[in-house]
Amino acid sequence: MTQPQKFQEIAENLSFLDDWEDQFEYIIELGKALPKLSDAQRVPENKVSGCVAQVWLAVEKTPSDAGPVFHIKGESDAMIVQGLVAVLLALYSDRPASEIAATDAIAIFDEMGLREHLTTQRSNGLISMVNRIRAQAQAA
């Protein structure tokens, strides 16, 4: 399955950065560019459990011929996690639920080498975010 253009650009940019610190700096910059969630979106039902940092993922669904399309917005109070949210949104947002459910972001992140420099807590938080998005997509 082809990944969204925005995600492909991020993956390509990361591949040009040899040093993991440069990669993390790039990811942090991606997070800084995300729009903030509204107070109405920063509610308990949008909060992701299993993350040390506070993370909210707000999903809006619109109908399409391919099934519901997920429009995902997210925010975290930790810079690196905010960046990981940005990468996840580039991979998952604005796609049909069936494609989201079939896309294993953890495997993709592992192929890119992104998880190897994350702490165990950050990695577990990333897994929690992915599991939440994919579970919502499977339920749709």
User: How sure is the predictor about 101, in pLDDT bands with cuts at 50, 70 and 90?
Assistant: very high
Active-site choice (14, 51, 72, 84): 51
Looking at residue 104, the DSSP 8-state letter turns out to be -
Task: State pLDDT tens for residues 38-81.
Answer: 999 999 999 999 878 999 999 999 998 878 999 999 999 999 99
Does residue 55 have an active-site annotation? no
Instruction: Read off the pLDDT of each residue in 4-11 and give the average, rounded to a whole number.
Output: 94
Query: Per CATH, is 5-139 categorized as 3.90.1010.10?
Result: yes
Domain-wise residue ranges, the chain: 5-139
- Please give the Cα distance from 107 to 109 (Å, whole number): 5
Q: 12-29, pLDDT tens digit by residue? A: 999 999 899 999 999 999
Q: 1 pLDDT band (50/70/90 cuts)?
A: low
Which segment of 41-45, 82-86, 113-117 scores lowest on mean pLDDT? Answer: 113-117
DSSP per residue, 27-89: HHHHHHTSPPPPTTTSSGGGBPTT-SS-EEEEEEEE--TTSPEEEEEEEESSHHHHHHHHHHH
